[in-house]
Structure 1
Amino acid sequence: MASLVSRSQNGLPFSIKCDKIDIVHLSIIMSTHKTLFLLCALGLAGTPFLSLKASENRWPAFRGPDRQGHSLATNVPIEWETKGKIGWKVPLSLSGWASPVVDQGHVIVSGSREEAGSITLHVASYRLADGTLEWETKVFEPDPQAIKARHSKNSHSSCTPILANEKIYAHFGHFGTCALDLNNGKVLWSRVVAYQPVHGNGGSPALVDDRLIFSADGASGPAIYALNAGNGEILWKTDRQTDAKKTFSFSTPLSVQVKDQTQVISPGSGMVGAYDPSDGSLLWRVDYGEGYSVIPRPILHENHVFIGTGYDRPKVMAIRLDGATGNLTQSHVAWETSRSAPNTPSLIVAENVLFYLSDGGILTCADPISGKVHWSERLGGNYSASPVSVGSSVYFISEEGKVSVVHANPEKLEILAQSELGERTLASPAMLDGTLLIRSADHLWKMIQP
C-alpha cells in the first residue's frame, strides 16, 4: 500500500534563481495573473521590465525560463487538428531527445549522427520564423571506447542546452560540454569530464551566475561538477555522499534562493543534496534509501521543493526549505507517497495544485502542501517528457506522440484537447507567444494559432 506521511509545515519566503533573476514566491504569483507576476518581480527583484517581458519569447533551458515548466506566453495553441495550425514541420538530421530551446528567434537543438560505426555530436540552429536551418556545428567526436551501451529509450544526446548572453551551453554527459556563439555556432570552449556512465547520458546542466553545474552520477564515484561558464575550467568537484548500491542517476539541478543563500538542489542515487554554488559544499541532504536512476528535475512551490526518488520503487517527496542545514531526513520531509509516482517525468504545479504523472500514464492531482490527493486518473500512453503549463492549461506529451492538454482542476480530470503527432517523442516541448515547439523522432514542429 502506498504511504502518505504528513509532517509539520512552516517556513520562510524564498525565491528561485533563473537567468540571474530572483522571483519571490514564483509558483504562487505565476498561477494568478501575468500582470501581477511582472509587477511583483519588477518591484521585489529590481529587474528591468523588458527582461521579464522577453521571457515570453524565450525558452532558454530545460523546462523553460523558470526551469519548472511554467510559461508567461499568450495564445499558445492547445491543439492543431481542428482549431490550431502547423506553422512548419522540418526534418531533423540529428538524433536525440534533447529538448528544443529558443532565444532571439533561434531554435537550438543538439543531437548525434552515426556513420560507419562512428558517432559525432552536433548543435544546430533553426530560424523560428520559418524553420530554415541556419547552421550546424560538430562539437565532439567521441572515442569509440567511450561509447557505452545505453538504455533503449535513451539517446547519445538527451541533455538539453542552455541559452544565455548570446551563448549556447551544450552538454553531452561524459562525452563533453561546450559553449558556442548563438548567432554563428562557433565553438568558444569545450571540456570533457570523464566518468563511467550507465545507460548513457541524461541530466542537463544548470547555469548559476557564472557557473555551469551538472551531475556526473555514473557507475562509481558519483559527483557534482561546476565549470566556469566563461572558459570551461573546472571550478570544483563534490563527491556524492551516498550509501546506495547503484550510484547512477540523471537528474538536472535546480538553483533556488533560501534566506539570501543560493542553493543548488541536485537529486542523485539514495539522496538529494543542496550545494553551495560558490565552492560545492553540501548544505543539507535528505536520504531515501536505495532510490537510483533518478531523473525528474526538482520543482519549487511556496517553501517546499518536490522531487522524485527514482527506481525501483519511486516516491514523490516534499521537503520544507527554511534555511536549516545538515541531514534533514527526519525533520524536513513534509510528506511522501509512492502512489503512481514517476520514474522519468518531472512534476509541475499549476493553479496551486500539484501534478505528477507516472511513466505508465497515471496522472495524479494533489495538494502540494499536504500531499492530499484530489484525484488520480489514467491519462493513457507512456511518458518520459516533462509537462509544461501556461495559465491553467497543463501539457503532457506521451512517448507515442499524443499531446494532452489538461485543465488544472482539483475537482476532476478535465481534458481540454488532444492531438496526435504520429511520431515517437521523449523530448519536452517549448512555449512562446502563439507557439508550441515539439521535437519528435524525425521532425521539429512549430504549432501556431491560426
Structure 2
Amino acid sequence: MKYESIKLIIPVLAVCLCCGADWPQFRGPLTNNVSLSDAPPAKVDQESIAWTADLEGRGASGPIIVGDKVFLTSTTGFKQDQLHVLCFDLKTGKQLWDRQFWATGRTQCHNKMCVATPTPASDGQRVFATFSSNDVVCLDLEGNLIWFRGLSHDYPNASNSLGMASSPVVVGETLIVPVENDDDSFTTGLDVKTGIARWKIKRPRVANWTSPAILKASPDTEPLVLLQSSEGVDAIYPQTGETAWQYEDGAGRIPSTTVGENTLFIPSNGLTALAPGSSSEPPKVLWSEQKLSPATASPLVYQKKVFTVNRAGVLTCASPQTGEVIWRLRLKGPFSATPIAAANHLYLISEKGLLQVVQLGEKQGEVTGEVDLKETILATPAISDNSLFLRSDKHLWKISSR
C-alpha cells in the first residue's frame, strides 16, 4: 500500500509544483479556488484587458491553463451537438487549434446551461474534456486525439432533463468523471492513457451538479476524492473507487465541497466544517452554520478564513474554526462562478459579467476595482501568468496588470 500511495502522490505533486502557475482543472490544482504563485492585478479597469479572443456557440465551462496554452470547450449547432475543444496562446490570445466532435448522447439542457458546462482537466500531458452529452475526449496538448468515450453508448439512461454540469478531476493515472443523475447515476474512474474504466460506483439517483474535490490530508497519506450528493459526501480512493469514509447528513447539489486547513467545508445544514475521517474512524463535525449557506458558488478557504456568497450577492467572511461571522460585504450579483483567491484578494465575476476585486482585511473587505465585460458569465475564472482568464459564450479574456 505504501508503494501505491507513492505512485498517486507523485502525480499530484507534479501538477501542484512542477507546473507551477498552471491552473489544470476546475477550481485550480488542488480544487480549492486558490492560487499561491500568481498575483493578478489588485486594481482593475477596462485598460486591464490584455486581450480578447472571439468564441462561437455556447460555453459555460471554465478555462484551464497548462504551460503557455489556455484550453476550454464550447458547443455549436442548433442542438448543441457539435462539441469543440479549443486551445489559445496564453500570451497573445491567438487561437492555436479547434478540435470538433459529434455528440453521441443527449444534448437537452436548461437554457441557462449548455452542453459545454463541465470544465476540462489536464494532467500536464493530456487534456480531458467532458460534456453534458456524457462524451469524454482526451487530446494531447497539440490537439491530437488520444481516445474518445461516448458513455451514453454504455449507459443510455444516464442523463437528466436539465443537463449535466459536474467537472472531472485528475489524480495520478485516473480521471474521475461524475455522471450523477435521476436514473442510471454513477461516477467512474477512467485510465488517463486509454479511457478504459478502472472502476464504476453507483451514486444516488438524483440530479447533481457538484464537482469532486481532492483531499490531501498530509504528505504521508494517499489523496482522496470527495464526491458530494444530496445524501452527503463520500471520500473514495481514486485508483480503486473504494470508499474510505462517509458523511451522511445530506448536502447541496450545486455548490461543491472545498478543503482548507485540513478541514472540509460542505454545503450542508448551511455550511458544515468537517474533520476528515479514516477507514476506522468516521469524520467529525466541527460546526454547522446556517448564516454561511452558499448559493450557487462554492465556498472558499483562504488565509485562515472561510468565505461564502449568498443569493443576495453578499460575501461573508467567517472563522474556519468556529463558523463565527467576521464581516460581510454586499457585492453586485448574482453569482454562479465560484470566487478565486490570490495575493490577499478575491476575484468574483457576476452573472452579468461584472468582475469585482475584493481586498481582504481583518475587519472588512474592500472593493478595489471593477471591470464590466457586459456579457453573461457563469464560468469560474482561472489564474495563471499573474493574470485572470474569463469566458462567456462569445469571448475569452485575459485580465493583466498594465
Query: TM-score of the superposition, structure 2-length normalised?
Result: 0.89
Q: Please tell me whether the aligned partners of residues 78 and 405 of structure 1 are also in contact (alpha carbons under 8 angstroms).
A: yes
| 2:209 paired residue among 236, 250, 255 | 250
Who is 1:270 aligned against?
A: 231
2:83 matched to 1:121? yes
Q: CA 1:77–1:224 in 2, change beyond 3 Å: closer, same or farther?
A: same
CA separation in 2, counterparts of 1:277 and 1:229? 12
CA separation in 2, counterparts of 1:275 and 1:162? 19
Alignment of 1:141-160 (within 5 A): 141-142=103-104, 146-148=106-108, 150-160=109-119
The letter of the residue matching 1:78 is: A
Query: TM-score of the superposition, structure 1-length normalised?
Result: 0.80
Q: Please tell me whether the aligned partners of residues 107 and 132 of structure 2 are also in contact (alpha carbons under 8 angstroms).
A: no
Q: Please tell me whether the aligned partners of residues 117 and 131 of structure 2 are also in contact (alpha carbons under 8 angstroms).
A: yes
Who is 1:391 aligned against?
A: 343
Q: CA 1:392–1:53 in 2, change beyond 3 Å: closer, same or farther?
A: farther
| 2:308 paired residue among 338, 345, 356 | 356
| 2:100 paired residue among 138, 153, 156 | 138
Q: How many residues align?
A: 388
CA separation in 1, counterparts of 2:208 and 2:277? 27
Q: 1:339 aligns to what SS in structure 2?
A: helix
Structure 2: gaps of 5 or more residues: 1-7, 153-157
- Quote the offset at 1:437 in angstroms: 1.1
- Could you list the per-position Cα deviations for residues 177-216 of structure 1 after superposition, in whole angstroms to 9, with x for gaps in the alignment? 1200111x12110112231224101111111110111221
Q: CA 1:174–1:237 in 2, change beyond 3 Å: closer, same or farther?
A: farther
| 1:181 paired residue among 140, 147, 154 | 140
2:279 matched to 1:315? no
Alignment of 1:167-316 (within 5 A): 167-183=126-142, 185-194=143-152, 195-240=158-203, 242=204, 247-258=206-217, 260-289=221-250, 291=251, 294-309=253-268, 315-316=270-271
- Quote the offset at 1:147 in angstroms: 2.4
CA separation in 1, counterparts of 2:362 and 2:339? 17
Who is 2:20 aligned against?
A: 55
The letter of the residue matching 1:385 is: A
The letter of the residue matching 2:17 is: L
2:348 matched to 1:374? no
Q: CA 1:362–1:130 in 2, change beyond 3 Å: closer, same or farther?
A: same
Q: State the identity %.
A: 27
- Could you list the per-position Cα deviations for residues 31-62 of structure 1 after superposition, in whole angstroms to 9, with x for gaps in the alignment? xxxxxxxxxxxxxxxx79xx736422x21111
Q: CA 1:262–1:18 in 2, change beyond 3 Å: closer, same or farther?
A: closer
Q: Please tell me whether the aligned partners of residues 244 and 278 of structure 2 are also in contact (alpha carbons under 8 angstroms).
A: no
Who is 1:43 aligned against?
A: none
CA separation in 1, counterparts of 2:290 and 2:183? 27
Q: Please tell me whether the aligned partners of residues 345 and 359 of structure 1 are also in contact (alpha carbons under 8 angstroms).
A: no
RMSD in angstroms over aligned alpha carbons?
2.3
Who is 1:28 aligned against?
A: none
| 1:110 paired residue among 66, 69, 73 | 73
Q: 2:308 aligns to what SS in structure 1?
A: strand
Q: Please tell me whether the aligned partners of residues 39 and 342 of structure 2 are also in contact (alpha carbons under 8 angstroms).
A: no
Q: 1:260 aligns to what SS in structure 2?
A: coil
- Quote the offset at 1:21 in angstroms: 3.5
Query: Which 4+ runs in 1 deviate beyond 4 A?
Result: 324-328
2:379 matched to 1:418? no
CA separation in 2, counterparts of 1:262 and 1:59? 19
- Quote the offset at 1:75 in angstroms: 4.3
Q: CA 1:376–1:424 in 2, change beyond 3 Å: closer, same or farther?
A: same
CA separation in 2, counterparts of 1:177 and 1:345? 25
Structure 1: gaps of 5 or more residues: 1-16, 23-46
The letter of the residue matching 2:295 is: N
Q: Please tell me whether the aligned partners of residues 55 and 65 of structure 1 are also in contact (alpha carbons under 8 angstroms).
A: no
Q: Please tell me whether the aligned partners of residues 60 and 103 of structure 1 are also in contact (alpha carbons under 8 angstroms).
A: yes
The letter of the residue matching 1:70 is: V
Q: CA 1:89–1:375 in 2, change beyond 3 Å: closer, same or farther?
A: same
CA separation in 1, counterparts of 2:216 and 2:66? 25
CA separation in 1, counterparts of 2:124 and 2:352? 35
Q: CA 1:440–1:267 in 2, change beyond 3 Å: closer, same or farther?
A: same
